[in-house]
Structure 1
């Protein structure tokens, strides 16, 4: 391990961090361009075969960037997409991005360092960085924006220069070091461990935008919110936001084990998908959509007395038609993904004749990230980390998510040598309670 990494791990003072050289190479989880065709004709695209862990060259730092020594990261589904080279190889993104200019050209490499979550220590700052210093403990927003683009100043997610960091850009968070724009940084909550902090930014921020933000569903007190995949990385934060916002959370999960965990989380109504009798392909059959929608609607009305005001759907093809059917007149369907397929089929009459709305959300802008992080810092929203792997086993961690065999978030230790480190306010942690902070641990 290089001297700078060792200094970060032992909590060296700022002066020492600034004086030590940045290594020429660093350990990172990455894909390789020569592997793009490895899964052609293969049904089980096992990401353990495509995710490599090894040294890559350290890139030069741009004036508006910081170098973060990554203590921990976590798995998002875009790591699975990257590892399967679907729906497009991410090297296509990097090549297109690299044509934009000198700094962008750094990203066009025959390897792609993945990861859209990170928590760590700032070890270098570019000449144009004003609000962050070496030694700061930070989390990283998963979205990189172009602050010279007009639309960014209205909403960072609307700019054409908006990209998913570690997916549409290189040098992501599943590594010992990460290159991050200063406009991606948020302060790490002092009561959280490194791995807990790294499990919150992408999913908690996205769920906040989808449900709470004025750019999302604008949830209000008393709203009934149907949450598909409620035990997943996005779902567990959605349940918490609904509960703390005075709403009624209706969660759908795929097993009794996940149902039990969801009840512990305080979800008002928990539904096992087996009760609905739907599979991943049923969402494209109009007759099955109506049948499943009627069954789901009866359960929700039996438990709450009403149809849902909001449907939170990132599952996609298997559920989208049912979501549209079961949503009440004038309700809002908010979506941010399609883990079962992108090509949705639904009966458009249920949209236009019942005056429903569909809102697309993609991660969150920086203000929304800070707002969701504030709730976490206050102990209102809890990290939802279930398991943690070392960086060397990132393939196993991603495979767990690929097979939907996880609950909550799956963490990855990078420079942190073991779980449980990084807490700088143990008093706050004690007041909040270990049982609340580790609700899903080991699940």
Structure 2
């Protein structure tokens, strides 16, 4: 592994094809025999630091259409939190299902799960049938894994019956020194970014792109008013940039003055600090307070000069969904990609059907959408939102930051990279955008 790292640090990428791939590597794992360790404990009290382990694991066999990547850096997503607290189900159930498909997928059904759905690194090996990539290529990876043996996925790959999220519903993820990916997950690494900066947009940037910009999501257009929950967080920080970059008007919902300042730094002007305003959408565990929905809607109209949101960018779920349906404009769209506060949503359907609103489910992104989202990063039209970076051995602490919502933007993890700041091959381009690249750092 050290020879591989030395070659990468020396930028001797052509030499990698001649170096042996180690038969073991270090990866962040959860263990099947610990899947019940948090039973009876409330979700917010479950501690990822107890369930995420840094283990030496065997390097998986390389199959057709696959690549092994030396991972320089990765990032934390909420799916890593879900994996670490074994909610809503243990991810070992996903691995068992995947393992039943073929002898090749059987490799994934193991008593440990190497997690992580982002990476930036360098290709070490490619399997039979891979022509677009070779050892030494600097890459990032999106997390869509599909088999594409059914016709259902050939119009939109997200509709493939065997669609999965790599590193969450498959094994050998990116929070590790090596990762196994399908070659069609790979995309060019933006040359002006460091390894850790390039690793952090993948999942959330692609998700926000499909949710807002794509015709499969809300189909945002210039002039649209877009309500963004958690506008300074991992998803919301990219949503805010897409709205501003696309000529629409963001209404950023945040939970502190510091988060409001980040949104202003991105260029947003209409901001609601929900804690300062004291919104409580639930009067008790079973009852929503519609007066609070109306008060929230009035605040939005006050900021916009009377406009309701054309689009509501939803991901908190249970806590906010009733309010989201209520405040969307007549004929508007509520587009949802997650339920971090709970999966069972309730809302007053009168406000949906009588006002001809739409609820659109959106999940990650297809290959094309992921590529387009990465291209915008490469063009420096959208920027990383990296705030903090941990070493691989402190991945549990990084996941705890996300679980407790104490972070801003994205939390990165160094894998093989020995320190931050490495991997830039276009310093001139970087310098032109350095303030935007560093906007979230240290916040």
Q: Which residue does 2:60 correspond to in 1? A: 59
* CA deviation after TM superposition for structure 1 residue 283, in Å: 8.9
* CA deviation after TM superposition for structure 1 residue 224, in Å: 0.5
* CA deviation after TM superposition for structure 1 residue 281, in Å: 5.0
Residues 81-116 of structure 1 deviation map (CA, whole Å, 9 limit, x = unaligned): 000001000001101111111110000000000000
Mapped to 2, the partners of 1:203 and 1:284 lie a distance apart of: 30
Q: Which residue does 1:419 correspond to in 2? A: 420
Equivalent pair of 2:211/2:218 in contact (CA under 8 Å): yes
Q: Which residue does 2:35 correspond to in 1? A: 36
Mapped to 2, the partners of 1:186 and 1:385 lie a distance apart of: 19
* CA deviation after TM superposition for structure 1 residue 3, in Å: 2.8
* CA deviation after TM superposition for structure 1 residue 7, in Å: 2.7
For 1:426-437, list aligned pairs within 5 A. 426-432=427-433, 434-437=434-437
* CA deviation after TM superposition for structure 1 residue 6, in Å: 3.5
Mapped to 2, the partners of 1:279 and 1:293 lie a distance apart of: 9
Mapped to 1, the partners of 2:169 and 2:199 lie a distance apart of: 19
Q: Which residue does 1:175 correspond to in 2? A: 176
> Are positions 1:160 and 2:161 aligned together?
yes
> Are positions 1:267 and 2:268 aligned together?
yes
Q: Which residue does 1:296 correspond to in 2? A: 296
Structure 2 counterpart SS, 1:106: helix
For 1:3-82, list aligned pairs within 5 A. 3-14=3-14, 16-43=15-42, 44-82=45-83
Q: Which residue does 1:241 correspond to in 2? A: 242
* CA deviation after TM superposition for structure 1 residue 135, in Å: 0.7
Q: TM-score, normalised by structure 1?
A: 0.97
Supply the RMSD in Å over aligned alpha carbons. Answer: 1.4
* CA deviation after TM superposition for structure 1 residue 277, in Å: 2.8
* CA deviation after TM superposition for structure 1 residue 148, in Å: 2.6
Equivalent pair of 1:47/1:395 in contact (CA under 8 Å): yes
For 1:104-183, list aligned pairs within 5 A. 104-183=105-184
Equivalent pair of 1:64/1:128 in contact (CA under 8 Å): yes
Residues 349-382 of structure 1 deviation map (CA, whole Å, 9 limit, x = unaligned): 1111110001111111110011111111111101
* CA deviation after TM superposition for structure 1 residue 320, in Å: 0.4
Mapped to 2, the partners of 1:166 and 1:283 lie a distance apart of: 37
Mapped to 1, the partners of 2:184 and 2:75 lie a distance apart of: 20
* CA deviation after TM superposition for structure 1 residue 276, in Å: 4.5
Structure 2 counterpart SS, 1:389: strand
> Are positions 1:223 and 2:220 aligned together?
no
Equivalent pair of 1:283/1:319 in contact (CA under 8 Å): no
* CA deviation after TM superposition for structure 1 residue 9, in Å: 3.6
The size of the alignment, in residue pairs, is: 440
Mapped to 1, the partners of 2:40 and 2:87 lie a distance apart of: 13
Mapped to 2, the partners of 1:416 and 1:199 lie a distance apart of: 14
Mapped to 2, the partners of 1:366 and 1:37 lie a distance apart of: 35
For 1:343-362, list aligned pairs within 5 A. 343-362=344-363
Runs of at least 5 residues in structure 2 that lack an aligned partner in the other structure: none
Structure 1 counterpart SS, 2:147: coil
Mapped to 2, the partners of 1:347 and 1:136 lie a distance apart of: 52
Residues 135-165 of structure 1 deviation map (CA, whole Å, 9 limit, x = unaligned): 1111101111113322222001011111010
CA spacing shift, 1:126–1:36, aligned 2, 3 Å: same
Structure 2 counterpart SS, 1:260: helix
Q: TM-score, normalised by structure 2?
A: 0.97
Residues 12-44 of structure 1 deviation map (CA, whole Å, 9 limit, x = unaligned): 231x21111111110000100111111112231
Runs of 4+ in structure 1 off by over 3 angstroms are 278-287
Residues 390-441 of structure 1 deviation map (CA, whole Å, 9 limit, x = unaligned): 1010011000000000010000000111111111111111222x11110000
Mapped to 1, the partners of 2:117 and 2:270 lie a distance apart of: 31
* CA deviation after TM superposition for structure 1 residue 284, in Å: 6.4
For 1:333-344, list aligned pairs within 5 A. 333-344=334-345
Structure 1 counterpart SS, 2:416: coil
Runs of at least 5 residues in structure 1 that lack an aligned partner in the other structure: none
Equivalent pair of 1:283/1:318 in contact (CA under 8 Å): no
Equivalent pair of 1:309/1:332 in contact (CA under 8 Å): yes
Mapped to 2, the partners of 1:153 and 1:283 lie a distance apart of: 46
* CA deviation after TM superposition for structure 1 residue 11, in Å: 2.4
